[in-house]
Amino acid sequence: MLTRLGLMTVRARLLALMILIVIPIAGLSVVFAFGNYQSILTSIENERGQAVSDFAVRTDVWVTSVLRTVFILTESIQAQPGGAIDCYAVAAQLLYKMEGYNAIAINNADGRSCFSSRTASITQDLALRVLAEYREKPHVRLPFSPLEVEADYGPVRAGNERHLAVYERSVLENGSQWESVTFVDPSLLDRFFELGSGKSMIVALMSPGLIPMAVRGAREEDMSWLPQAENIVAGSAHWRASAQDGKEYNYTTEAISNSDLYILARFDDKPRADAWFRFVMLVSLPVLMLAALFASYAHFVRTGITRWISGIEQAARARAHGKAELAPVGEKMPADIRSVALAFNDMIDESIKRESALSQSLASNRFLNRELHHRLKNSLQVIQSYMSLSRRQQGSRTDTSLAEMEAKVLVLSVAYRLALTDNHMQPVPLKPFTEEIILTLASALNESGRSIEAKITSDAGLAVDRAIPLGLVLVDAIMTGFKGADTQSVSISLEAMEDGRVELQAVIDGTLPDSQQPSRILKGLAGQLQGEIVPTAPGGVIRLRFHC
């Protein structure tokens, strides 16, 4: 499993383990932050809806108190005997005592009509028009009166002034009825309770047509915060719309019971922006902390573990290439890795000691070997010199057997001398090796009128244990050639072939017996040379091919 995932190193596996720990924690942090964000948004919406509902309830309570007051006022005027003058007087007296009630118009059950106003903008004609208008509208039954009393209210503009018109109609027990309209100053609503204000909210008591009756959070003449389109529903509504200033805001409406008035509130996005900022912080801080933890963990893995392992690996690879490099050991190194590094260094020290001992032993053996070969070469040279001296003293009376023996001893002497030229064993160069052998034989056989021709073109080299068989084959081939009838000259060639092998060929100017075949000695020497004897043309003594 780990191999398929590519987790082959200690560092990769430790980091993978840390990732398996960090990712779930980060995921849980995000889920928790998102849940908290949704909870805050829900709480914001609930608080906004509850605030608007509270404003609607308090406004409904205020309107009910106004209706009750108007009912008592009208009943008091109805109970006063007298004519219209008395009606006007009582109405004026009651208005004077009740602050915020600007005008009243009454059609009594006994036919009397009276009107009184505290402001010039409200005239009797205006009051009669309002009475006629509300007389035709549907009304609601008042819950606080044992009599059948219906009422309605709404905004009225008198000149530049805004008023709340309260209409009431009551049917008496005898079947007669009275009606009245009272003009109330909306500022009473401001003094009755505080609708509330804040930087994130504007709230107003509205009448249909986006006409504000009372506003908190903005100036009354400022209409830029109102939505471009009115949205009146039976209950409550929440929506997002463009304001008259062109910006988008969140709006909430709540209808006032038994009235066509409603509460309109505008909320900006600061609470939601704050909630989003909190969400981002709740997500970012744990993620950043986990990222810092992961980075610290990765740094510790690199500096506290893999760095030391890499040092041991580097020392091992250097040792594999012949360099004596020790693994690094430090005070901050973990104890278990430190013990491995110390054991590795001890192994390197032992290896160096063993190699030093082996090198000394090998040097001693090489020295002894060189000395042995040197003494052997000197001995062979002494023997070869003695045989050459003996051959010269005997002169032409002797046969070629002594020259052949001298040449074979010379093969051994020359091979060891060329192999030990630089005081250490090296390949024997074929060209000087064969030329010296041929020159010695030619000198020995020249007295009898015989000659040897040589063509040596290969500059290859052979190990001494293969060069000696080649030299003996060369001597045997030359001496065998001179045994042929009428043979006066032997031609020797040693040339490189295209396939990388070297070919030795001996040809005579005489004739050999037809039954002449390579001797067992030649075949044995060719086997030591790891060569191949191939058939020759007439006059050929031997044709040998071998690899260097």
Residues 59 and 55: their CA atoms lie apart, in Å, by: 6
Residues 421 and 53: their CA atoms lie apart, in Å, by: 117
Q: Is the pLDDT of residue 446 over 50?
A: yes
Pairing of strands 262-267, 201-207: antiparallel
Q: What is the pLDDT of residue 107?
A: 84
Q: What is the pLDDT of residue 192?
A: 56
Give the distance, in angstroms, between the CA of residue 289 and the centroid of all CA atoms in the same chain.
17
The residue written with tokens 């009898």 in the block is 448
Q: What is the DSSP letter of 245?
A: T
For the chain, give the percent of residues with pLDDT over 90. 0
Least confident segment among 324-333, 442-451, 487-496, 499-508: 442-451
pTM, full prediction: 0.48
Kindly report the average pLDDT of the chain as a whole number.
79
Q: What is the pLDDT of residue 397?
A: 45
Q: Is the pLDDT of residue 6 over 60?
A: no
Q: Is the pLDDT of residue 384 over 70?
A: no
Kindly give the residue spans of alpha helices, DSSP state H, lying in 80-186: 84-97, 124-135
CB distance 329 to 343 below 8 Å: no
Between these two residues, 86 and 2, which has the higher pLDDT value? 86
Helix (H) or strand (E) holding 240: strand 236-242
What are the φ/ψ torsions at residue 257 (nearest 5 degrees)? -65, 145
Q: Show the CA angle centred on residue 289, arms to residues 285 and 292, nearest 5°.
A: 140
Which of 57, 94, 50 has the alpha carbon at shortest distance from 75? 94
Which pLDDT band, with edges at 50, 70 and 90, does 143 fall under? low
Q: What tokens were used for 315?
A: 């020392």
Tell me the Ramachandran region of residue 100: left when phi exceeds 0, alpha when psi lies from -120 to 50, beta otherwise.
left
Q: What is the pLDDT of residue 447?
A: 60
Q: Is the pLDDT of residue 66 over 60?
A: yes
Q: What is the pLDDT of residues 77-111, one digit of tens each?
A: 666 665 555 677 777 777 777 788 888 888 877 77
Q: What is the pLDDT of residues 200-255, one digit of tens each?
A: 788 888 878 887 877 877 777 788 888 888 887 777 888 888 888 888 888 888 88
Which pLDDT band, with edges at 50, 70 and 90, does 144 fall under? low
Residues 256 and 353: their CA atoms lie apart, in Å, by: 104
Between these two residues, 199 and 153, which has the higher pLDDT value? 153
Between these two residues, 10 and 535, which has the higher pLDDT value? 535
Q: What is the pLDDT of residue 400?
A: 66
Amino acid at 161: E
Q: What is the pLDDT of residue 1?
A: 46
User: How far are the Cα atoms of 178, 260, 494 from residue 181, in angstroms, in the given order?
Assistant: 11, 17, 145
Which pLDDT band, with edges at 50, 70 and 90, does 190 fall under? low
Q: What is the DSSP letter of 448?
A: G
CB distance 127 to 116 below 8 Å: no
Residues 340 and 327: their CA atoms lie apart, in Å, by: 9
Residues 168 and 78: their CA atoms lie apart, in Å, by: 13
Least confident segment among 113-117, 147-151, 418-422, 454-458: 147-151
Q: What is the mean pLDDT of residues 113-137?
A: 86
Helices 335-394, 307-320: inter-axial angle, 10-degree rounding: 10
Q: Is the pLDDT of residue 30 over 60?
A: yes
CB distance 116 to 103 below 8 Å: yes
Q: What is the pLDDT of residues 351-376, one digit of tens each?
A: 888 888 888 888 888 777 777 777 77
Residues 111 and 133: their CA atoms lie apart, in Å, by: 20
Q: What is the pLDDT of residue 81?
A: 64
Residues 433 and 542: their CA atoms lie apart, in Å, by: 19
Between these two residues, 64 and 34, which has the higher pLDDT value? 34
Q: Return the beta strands (E) in 420-500 as ranges.
A: 428-429, 451-456, 461-462, 489-496
Q: Which domains does the chain have, with CATH numbers?
A: 80-190 (3.30.450), 194-268 (3.30.450), 367-547 (3.30.565.10)
CB distance 253 to 237 below 8 Å: yes
Q: What is the pLDDT of residue 2?
A: 45
Q: What is the mean pLDDT of residues 293-309?
A: 80
Q: Is the pLDDT of residue 44 over 50?
A: yes
Please list the residues that pair with 205 across neighbouring strands.
Answer: 214, 263
DSSP code string of 103-129: EEEEE-TTS-EEEEESSTTS-HHHHHH
Please list the residues that pair with 532 across neighbouring strands.
Answer: 545
Residues 437 and 411: their CA atoms lie apart, in Å, by: 7
DSSP code string of 138-207: --EE-TT-SSEEEEEEEEEEETTEEEEEEEEEEE-TTS-EEEEEEEE-THHHHHH-----BTTEEEEEEE
Q: Which SS3 state, helix, strand or coil, does residue 262 take? A: strand
Q: What is the pLDDT of residue 61?
A: 79
Characterize 327-344 residue by residue with b for buried, 16 or more Cβ atoms within 10 angstroms of its Cβ, and e for exposed: beeeeebeeebbebbeeb
Please list the residues that pair with 547 across neighbouring strands.
Answer: 501
For the chain, give the percent of residues with pLDDT over 70. 85
Residues 408 and 395: their CA atoms lie apart, in Å, by: 20
Which of 221, 213, 222 has the alpha carbon at shortest distance from 195? 213
Q: What is the mean pLDDT of residues 519-527?
A: 82
Q: Is the pLDDT of residue 11 over 50?
A: yes
Between these two residues, 216 and 3, which has the higher pLDDT value? 216
How crowded is residue 279: how many other Cβ atoms within 10 Å of its Cβ?
Answer: 19
